A and B are shown apart, each in its own frame.
Chain A
Amino acid sequence: MSIAELESREIQLERPQGLWSEAWQRLRRNRGAIIGFGLVGTFVLVAIFAPLLAPYGPREQNLSLVREGCCPGPSADYWFGVDALGRDEFSRILYGARYSLLIGVVSVAVGLTFGLILGAVAGFFGGIIDGVIMRLMDIMLAIPGFLLAIGIVAMLGPGIWQIMIAVGVVNIPIFARLLRGAVLAQRENDFVLAARAVGVPRRTILGSHILPNSISPLIVQGTLALATAIIDVAGLGYLGLGPQDPATPEWGTMLTDTIRYLQTAPHLAIIPGIAIVLAVLGFNLIGDGLREALDPKLRGRA
């Protein structure tokens, strides 16, 4: 390393910067995370600009294409081929990104919100409140997540909003437990005692001292949960519990519709499958990158 480089590094070290900008610096150096951001970025852009990018409408049928038999493979006009009802697969995949993203984000937001409140209350106040909340969470965790989601959808009836609620509820105990653990660890910190010693009210201590210190594992988990949520939503869609309008281009539902044509038109199953894998992979890579960037043990290392 040259002297100029050393000097520039020192200047960088001396520049006052918060913990978040430091984490961002580390994240930027992580190749996996950058790929993840690329994938998720594409995913989000596609979701937003689907009407501009898609050559056909998601519900537009051209039955003459399937008169010869199901189903014509990729061609210049229909990049990913055509499905059993003569709809352009490429356009449907693009529109499908909207559903996966929306359902994923909303369901994780539901899980995160309730999990955050329950976990923070349980961890901070302890005692009976903690016992009741956490046993409830244990009961929820004892039921396999996907089964619980199916149960909730069965109770509420199939549909997009029902799926979001179901996947969100499944996420609540995961977030609650994670935050409770972090709050318990932070609660015993010297700076909490110091804040109490200057008369800061308990609620303020929880909100402005303990939570900001406990939030980073939750951000990581939130990103990873987005990936799982997309899989769960696809799974529920595959089981026929998804949107009831068969024309809705939801990736999981699209997979279900192709079972009968698996022998003759495997691309109809492979393409939505790849879309799901790429979206999930993107969120997982970001999640892992964030975990490394926010890990206090790695702080200060290059």
Chain B
Amino acid sequence: MRTPLLTVEDLEVRFGTSRGLVYAVNGISFDIAPGETLGIVGESGCGKSVTSLALLGILARNGRVTGGTAMFGGRDLLKLKDEQLRLIRGREIAMVFQDPMTSLNPVLTIGKQLREPLQVHFGMDKSQADRRAVELLEQVGIPSAKQRLRDYPHQFSGGMRQRVMIAIALACEPKLLIADEPTTALDVTIQAQILELLKTLVSERDTALMLITHDLGVVAGMCERVNVMYAGMFMETGSAAALFSQPRHPYTLGLLQSVPRLDAGRRQKLMPIPGSPRNMLSPPGECPFAPRCRYEVEQSRQQVPPLEEIEPGHQVRCFNPVPADEWQRERLGGAA
């Protein structure tokens, strides 16, 4: 394996709110190598987006990183001053946001917004930046790019805007691209196009891609390794292949069971995960998934299970992991 580009260890993020301290991210660790695509999956509010915002130092005002390190090119991102981090943002690490409808400034032209990172990081003048902007728009597949530079965001469709967002993110050829639910706000047909585009651009430049999503289908098609996140912790990490064929954590299994499948039997019902996500107002003292878990054991109510390796490259945070063949058996049983 190549040396990692970014190594995050024990990242902790807290938010001070009027109802108390919110324990948003509780010690997560991962690394990502150049050219690799890493998936982070979890439901809304599990801390996926907060993780990426924390790495870039653009958390909301009430958010604080309370622990951990994030080594990137020999520097700890979490210890850098805002001004130093600003020079990394957009230049070495860039981000594509969830909603292209609101992530572009409605009163500025597309050209102005594309020029911005180029002018900030490379000190290009307007005509240089314009030429580069046209190239970028062509790369993301926007026709008659030169004319469209003068257009405003409301003259673009959702899919086009997300292409523009990707063009902005890739403007300075960053080493790491964080895509936070890049296709959630888009139509299914557009989703596939955008994912394909991301895949191509990333592999052409050997860019590392951190893909944050709640869509298991997206992860399966895009990622080599996947982290399953719940209540600010990784519950299971492993290769996409291992996770989708042999999920060992009850939460991963629950996620897979709750997604409709084409190969399922006609009578087979979707199985939802009972209960609702953990209230994050207290530090985790037990397995955060225990209250919703079918496999819960005595011990999971007493302490947080450690993340343990159960086979090479496959780690699970569970005292009573799901049997390795459970998912396969259920699928076949259901189909029969």
Interface residues of A (CB under 8 A from B): 16, 18-19, 126, 189-191, 193-201, 204, 208-209, 212-213
Contact = CB atoms under 8 A, between A and B. Distances in A.
B61 interface: yes
A194 B151 contact: no
B104 A191 contact: yes
A199 B53 CA distance: 13
Interface string B108-127: 10001000110011000000
B80 interface: no
Given A198-B116, A199-B120, A193 B97 contact: yes
Given A190-B97, A193-B53, 14 more contacts: A191-B105, A193-B58, A194-B165, A196-B56, A196-B58, A197-B90, A197-B97, A198-B168, A198-B169, A199-B89, A200-B116, A200-B117, A201-B120, A212-B105
B192 interface: no
Contacts of B61: 126
B95 interface: yes
B106 interface: yes
Contacts of A190: 97, 99, 102-103
A195 B116 contact: yes
A204 B169 CA distance: 18
Contacts of A18: 152
A212 B150 contact: no
A195 B86 contact: no
B104 A16 contact: no
A199 B91 contact: yes
A204 B86 CA distance: 13
B87 A199 contact: yes
A209 B108 contact: yes
Interface of B: 53, 56, 58, 61, 86-91, 94-95, 97, 99, 102-108, 112, 116-117, 120-121, 150-152, 155, 165, 168-169, 171-172
A193 B96 CA distance: 11
A211 B295 CA distance: 54
B58 A16 contact: no
Contacts of A198: 89-90, 94, 116-117, 120, 168-169, 171-172
B152 to A, nearest CB: 6
A191 B56 CA distance: 15
A213 B105 contact: yes
Nearest to A188: B60
A199 B97 contact: no
A271 B140 CA distance: 66
B58 A197 contact: yes
A72 to B, nearest CB: 57
B88 A199 contact: yes
Contacts of B97: 190, 193-194, 197
B90 A199 contact: yes
Contacts of A194: 95, 97, 103-104, 165, 168
Contacts of B172: 198
A204 B108 CA distance: 13
A211 to B, nearest CB: 10
Contacts of B108: 208-209, 212
A298 B121 CA distance: 38
A191 B86 contact: no
Closest 10 CB pairs of A and B: A198-B90, A199-B90, A199-B89, A190-B102, A198-B117, A191-B105, A197-B95, A194-B103, A190-B103, A212-B107
Q: Give the most central of A19, A193, A195: most B CB within 10 Å.
A: A195
B90 A209 contact: no
Nearest to B105: A191
A212 B112 CA distance: 13
Contacts of B94: 197-198
A200 B112 CA distance: 12
16 contacts: A193-B58, A194-B97, A196-B56, A196-B58, A196-B89, A197-B89, A198-B94, A198-B169, A199-B86, A199-B121, A200-B90, A200-B120, A201-B86, A212-B107, A212-B108, A213-B107
A137 to B, nearest CB: 22
